[in-house]
């Protein structure tokens, strides 16, 4: 069942989303060659707790850290640790926050130092694809119109859409119905209604869309070891423009 959030529930989700956005602003200042992914995790955890939130990924399905850090060919769910970022890397960071029983979820891929022209383009196209999807999160569209807009935007620019992992409804749980794929034919699925809240999150690869799971049973990597990027916002469908909750 897709839940419709009340005004009060949306206010709580706005608060969770605000902390997600502010945590990204903190991390952005810290991302540079030499910093470890574990240091970024601690920074995010301390910041979220200081804001009165709870790092929602910590312990979720057994995940061992507060944020996911996925470097270069890592797609999602990378575990922070001793890895030092290097000039030219890209790092996808996924942050979930819970406050007052409501959740916010966002992801950003950051450049580390000076990155290649192809990497820059991948980041730009992935972020723009997210906004192409968000633009369809309106009354009058169906769920798969979001999916289709993302796929079309990405594939017409020569990149590929990860199939095995998808976006999701969000609210009183991190993962609610419906699933929000980043691919598919338009005009399918439930009609979008005010009060629906969706985490829209294109995961976009420079090469093949195929991915595999690493031996740690968490980290997802591209099958061809080419780069992958990930941008995500938690979005509320309203009577008018979509409201991005994970933004300040």
Of 8-16, 79-87, 99-107, 146-154, which part binds Mg ion (CB under 5 A)? 99-107
Of 22-30, 51-59, 195-203, 233-241, which part binds Mg ion (CB under 5 A)? 195-203
Q: Which is nearer to Mg ion, 150 or 199 (CB)?
A: 199
Q: How many residues bind Mg ion (CB under 5 A)?
A: 3
User: According to CB under 5 A, which one of 123, 125, 199, 220 is a site residue for Mg ion?
Assistant: 199
Q: What count of residues does the chain have?
A: 248
Q: Which is nearer to Mg ion, 10 or 170 (CB)?
A: 170
105 binds Mg ion (CB under 5 A): yes
HEC readout, the chain: CCCCCCHHHHHHHHHHHHHHHHHHHHHHHHCCCCCEHHHHHHHHHHHHHHCCCEECCCCHHHCCCCEEEEECCEEECCCCCCCECCCCCEEEEEEEEEECCEEEEEEEEEECCCCCHHHHHHHHHHHHHHHHHHCCCCCCCEHHHHHHHHHHHHHCCCCEECCCCCEEECCCCCCEEEEECCCCCCCCCCECCCCCEEEECCEEECCCCCEEECCCCCCEEECCCCCEEECEEEEECCCCCCEECCCC
Site for Mg ion in 200-219 (CB under 5 A): 201
Q: Which is nearer to Mg ion, 40 or 166 (CB)?
A: 166
Of 138-146, 178-186, 191-199, 210-218, which part binds Mg ion (CB under 5 A)? 191-199
Q: Which is nearer to Mg ion, 83 or 175 (CB)?
A: 175
Of 11-19, 51-59, 105-113, 135-143, which part binds Mg ion (CB under 5 A)? 105-113
Instruction: Give the per-residue contact string, 47-86, with Mg ion (x = CB under 5 A; - = no).
Output: ----------------------------------------
| Residues at the interface with Mg ion (CB under 5 A) | 105, 199, 201
């Amino acid at each position: 069942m897709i839940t419709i959030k009340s005004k009060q529930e949306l206010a709580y989700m706005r608060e969770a989303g605000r902390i997600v956005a502010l945590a990204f602003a903190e991390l952005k200042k810290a991302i540079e060659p030499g910093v470890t992914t574990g240091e970024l995790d601690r920074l995010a955890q301390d910041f979220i707790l200081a804001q009165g939130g709870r790092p929602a990924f910590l312990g979720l399905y057994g995940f061992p850290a507060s944020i996911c850090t996925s470097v270069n060919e890592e797609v999602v769910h990378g575990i922070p640790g001793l890895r030092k970022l290097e000039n030219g890397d890209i790092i996808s960071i996924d942050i979930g926050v819970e406050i007052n029983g409501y959740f916010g979820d966002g992801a950003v891929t950051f450049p580390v130092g000076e990155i290649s022209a192809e990497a820059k383009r991948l980041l730009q196209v992935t972020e723009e694809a997210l906004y192409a999807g968000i633009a369809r999160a309106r009354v009058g569209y169906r769920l798969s119109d979001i999916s289709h807009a993302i796929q079309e935007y990405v594939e017409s620019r020569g990149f590929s859409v990860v199939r095995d992992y998808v976006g999701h409804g969000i609210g009183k749980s991190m993962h609610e119905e419906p699933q929000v794929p980043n691919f598919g034919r338009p005009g399918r699925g439930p009609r979008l209604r005010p009060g629906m809240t969706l985490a829209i999150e294109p995961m976009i690869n420079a090469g093949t869309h195929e991915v595999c799971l690493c031996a740690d049973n968490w980290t997802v990597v591209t099958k061809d070891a080419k780069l992958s990027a990930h941008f995500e916002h938690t979005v509320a469908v309203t009577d008018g423009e979509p409201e991005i909750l994970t933004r300040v």
